[in-house]
């Protein structure tokens, strides 16, 4: 029996983390449909969370913004949505920023 959740941490490239099934190692549109996203090491910066829904063509223009202006201590929850990709964008990181984005996905309904 598999665990009820999976978690992975990423370092942003050009102030963004863009992940789908290949990067995560699991499919965010399958049974793991509830997600918690955190970002540490912002040194005063903020982060935004966007998702790509099924049926969209996959370009950044079709990303749906869920949360913006979130601080280091914030947890963004994406619950019950079927998503194809999760994007975390970092804005105004401080001079000593060393951001790390963690995405934890939980089996929907647990």
pLDDT in tens, 38-92: 999 999 999 999 999 888 777 777 899 999 999 988 999 998 888 889 999 999 9
Closest CA to 88 of 65, 59, 55: 65
Cα gap 4→67, rounded to integer Å: 25
Q: What percent of the chain has pLDDT over 90?
A: 64
41: domain CATH number?
2.60.120
Q: How many domains does the chain have?
A: 1
Residues in the chain: 110
Strands lying side by side in the sheet with 16-19: 16-19, 85-91, 46-52, 64-70
Domain of residue 79 covers: 5-107
Locate tokens 């223009």: which residue?
A: 61
């Amino acid at each position: 029996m598999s665990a009820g959740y999976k978690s992975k941490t990423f370092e942003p490239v050009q102030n963004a983390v863009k992940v789908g099934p290949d990067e995560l190692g699991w499919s965010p549109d399958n049974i793991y449909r509830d997600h918690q996203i955190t970002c540490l090491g912002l040194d005063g910066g903020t982060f935004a969370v966007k998702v790509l829904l099924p049926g969209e063509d996959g370009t950044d223009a079709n990303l749906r913004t869920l949360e913006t202006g979130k601080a280091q201590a914030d947890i963004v929850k994406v619950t019950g949505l079927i998503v194809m990709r999760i994007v975390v964008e970092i804005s105004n990181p401080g001079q000593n920023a060393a951001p790390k984005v963690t995405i934890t996905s939980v089996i929907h309904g647990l």
